[in-house]
Amino acid sequence: MLNIALPKGRLGEKVYAMFAASGFECPEVLGDSRKLVFENQKNGVRYFWVKPSDVAVYVERGAADIGVAGKDIIDEYMPDIYEVLDLKTGKCRMCVAAKKDFRDNADVTLRVATKFSNIARRYYASLGREIDIIHLNGSIELAPVLGMSDVIVDIVETGTTLKENGLEVTETIMPISARLIANKASYEFKRNDVLKVIEGLRRQVEAK
């Protein structure tokens, strides 16, 4: 039995469709039930929905053998897992954004508001820039609007939220997409099952 952690929400549903099309369906998953765990004995799969930012934890600790997590989550938490396939869905960018009239003064410490502290820290360290991290859990766009931070580091999909708040992207740190991740021990002990899923999903990705 292969345990699969899916991220709750739109991305998870999209990804489940890819699993189903690869022959790992479990129709109950999409139902309205309050159940947490869905099993299809015939296919040998067990799915569960978890908070997107928790998928990597479930996989790293072996509660899930494989899972789907955004590249943003993987780079932020750096879990000890294998990142076996780019699913090329849920695409967006990790960006630096600032108010339209913002002019960067390299002479002062840059105040950066973000949910992704580690990514921001690494990015600015690679530039050799001194920063002050302001860790927030949501509504990041508010920080520069109120003058609490100079810039934000956040995920940008369409840029609409930024525009509505008078912000614009100043730099792109990296592209983001959903990744299939695998637990290292499961990769050895359930190797055939894991490889079958990777192969099936790879065909789905290539067919797109």
| Residue at 130: amino acid letter | E
CA distance 16 to 30: 9
Neighbours of 169 (CB within 10 A): 15
Residues from 53 through 72 that contact other proteins (CB under 8 A): 60-62
Q: Which is nearer to other proteins, 97 or 176 (CB)?
A: 176
The only residue of 1, 30, 174, 185 in contact with other proteins, by rule CB under 8 A: 185
Please identify, using beta-carbon distances, which residue of 19 and 140 lies nearer to other proteins: 19
Nearest CB to other proteins, comparing residues 88 and 129? 88
DSSP letter assigned to residue 137: S
Compute the radius of gyration of the chain from its Cα atoms.
19
Tell me the per-residue interface mask from 188 to 207 with other proteins, x by CB under 8 A, - otherwise: xx-x----------------
Residue in the block written with tokens 């695409």: 91
Beta strand 66-70 with 178-182: parallel, antiparallel or unpaired? Answer: antiparallel
Q: How far apart are CA 168 and CA 147, in angstroms?
A: 15
Q: Which of 2, 81, 173, 201 binds other proteins (CB under 8 A)?
A: 81
CB of 64: closest distance to other proteins in angstroms? 10
98 lies in the site for other proteins, by CB under 8 A? no
Closest among 106, 107, 99 to 151, alpha carbons compared: 99
Q: In this chain, which of 23, 37, 80, 148 binds other proteins, going by CB under 8 A?
A: 80
Q: Which is nearer to other proteins, 1 or 185 (CB)?
A: 185
- 188/186 Cα distance (integer angstroms): 5
83 touching other proteins, by CB under 8 A: yes
Site for other proteins, rule CB under 8 A: 60-62, 80-86, 179, 182-189, 191
